[in-house]
Amino acid sequence: MTIQLSVGPRVRKSPFYDASVAAGLSHATIYNHMYMPVAYGDPEAEYWRLIQDVSIWDVAVERQVEVWGPDAETLVQYLVPRDLSKFFIGQGKYVPVCDHRGVLLNDPVLSKLDQGRYWFSIADNDLLMWVRAVAAERKFNVSVTEPDASPLAIQGPKAEALISGLLGDWVQGLKYFWFQEADLDGIPLLVARSGWSKQGGFELYLLDQSRGTDLWNRVFEAGKPYNVGPGAPNYIERVESALLSVGADTDDMTNPFEVDLGKYVHTEIAVDYIGRDALRRIQDEGPKRRRIGVIVEGTKLPPNQHRWPVTLHGEQVGEVTASAFSPRLDQNIGLANVHADIADGAGLLVETEQGHRAATVTALPFITPPDQRKLGAPRT
């Protein structure tokens, strides 16, 4: 069954929209009120391109929320449970954003552009509204806006060679989530070592939305020797690498401890932030749910169309939020949220669209990239 995406003026188009359509965009979704490419007609090729070569993704949907002004440091720390006391200009940090109940709202990369100037690079919800409400109610002296900044991700083992050729060898010195300004023959950019895969790579934040096609074409030209091609955040690779997708893997009760983000929650610091008391309580009591990997037995399954209930001895104990057939593991794999007390999970069943399947619990991620060191240590 095929449903066409309705394309019109209500939903924003990315600066790379025309280029991605010209490159053969076949499937898209909507994310942060913008069209977001999902596939270009050959999922197999797109997967291997990311794993073996280099892939270009229009991820302009990662909108930026800029916080700027005299109270920016105070507000930004009040918004996140991670200790920001050591934070350098030019650095990015992965930060959970929680509400007052300690529930995870979003998991942006927070970049420090300058003293008193920050960007949250956000997942799919209106964090701009959240930040504005908090800033205004607390009477912080800041402006909270959306800048003209649209990330284009270059992901895969050959991304560094491509970007070095395009911008210079200096990019090799960028640490994970750090960024630097650059100018590509008049196209203004922020260059960050970042991206929603574990295959290494960069995000080029285009700072002039009128130059999207120019940038796309320049990157493709530079990538020809590396077998470059179009792609998008890859569903199979994200399951293999156990990347969290807020909204897809979380619900209106999920706290960061349940989804392996506890290391970014600093309940011991003295400074006040939203959700601190709730997060302390959750930490003391221990989270009620946890995130596991499951190998789903039997024949190859298509990706899940909805969350699959997970049962143990006839009782539901959780759900698989994302599943895929891994070409490298030759297995059906899935990310599941389950009750914390299911022990080793022996006897788990998963209700797939093709009936019940036995499932085995495994550690996450399913696959670790061979040379993690060289790629930088992600999520720092």
The residues that touch a copy of itself, with contacts defined as CB under 8 A, are: 1-11, 13, 21, 25-30, 33, 35, 38-39, 99-100, 105, 124-127, 129-130, 132-134, 136-138, 145-146, 235, 245, 247-248, 252, 274, 303-307, 321-322
CB of 59 to a copy of itself, least distance (A): 15
CB of 222 to a copy of itself, least distance (A): 27
Residue 140 vs 226, nearer CB to a copy of itself = 140
CB of 153 to a copy of itself, least distance (A): 17
Residue 26 vs 372, nearer CB to a copy of itself = 26
Angle at 149 between CA 145 and CA 154, to 5 degrees: 145
Residue 103 vs 189, nearer CB to a copy of itself = 103
d(CA 367, CA 234): 14
End-to-end CA gap in the chain: 42
3-state secondary structure of 226: helix
Residue 26 vs 368, nearer CB to a copy of itself = 26
d(CA 79, CA 77): 5
d(CA 100, CA 268): 17
Residue 246 vs 375, nearer CB to a copy of itself = 246
Residue 158 vs 238, nearer CB to a copy of itself = 238
CB of 170 to a copy of itself, least distance (A): 35
Instruction: Identify the bridge partners of residue 66 per DSSP, sorted by sequence position.
Output: 119, 145
CB of 6 to a copy of itself, least distance (A): 4
Q: How far is CA 343 from CA 23, 307, 308, in A?
A: 48, 22, 20
Instruction: Identify the bridge partners of residue 150 per DSSP, sorted by sequence position.
Output: 206
**135-159 burial code (b ≥16 CB/10 A, e <16):** beeeebebebeeeebbbbbbbbbbb
CB of 185 to a copy of itself, least distance (A): 27
